[in-house]
Amino acid sequence: MSKKLEPQLHVNIQRSQTLAYFIIGLHLLSLLACFKINVLWQLQLVLVLVLGLSFSRQFRRYQQGVYQFGLQCTAENTWQYAVNQHDFVGIEILPSSVLTAWVIILHVKTDTEKRANLLICNDVMSEDLYRRLKVILKITAS
């Protein structure tokens, strides 16, 4: 009979205030740039409408919890991911992933060969847990 192994690390990624500020700030800067460029007013209107649609879509995704998920590293050093915090599926972390002091961008491939990008800002967990996650990612994802 096989014994179920406990995860080496389990992290629940919740809403990030930094990500909300980033979405708002990036769209405000883009809006300012639209008004500063010297083009026809019709083109400026189109650019402002596109930015408004982009902001609406991105902020709705943020509010719906698209950036909330569970991530765990098992005792065998394999990674698992879950959208609803319960049904974990195996993932492979790709070498193109980025680890910084402020944000972790994981490029992953699921067991079904579907690719996804997972964004983890440093304000969604304690500083110690974020550092621990980065170290385990560096060790196991290489």
d(CA 33, CA 91): 39
Sign of the alpha-carbon dihedral angle for 117, 14, 140, 79: negative
Rounded Cα distance between 64 and 134, Å, is 26
For position 85, what pLDDT does the model report? 64
Read off the pLDDT band of 77 (50, 70, 90): confident
Note if the pTM is more than 0.85: no
- The CA distance from 81 to 7, in Å, is 12
Q: What is the pLDDT of residues 25-45, one digit of tens each?
A: 999 999 999 999 999 999 999
What pLDDT, in 10s, does the model give residues 82-98? 987 678 899 999 999 99
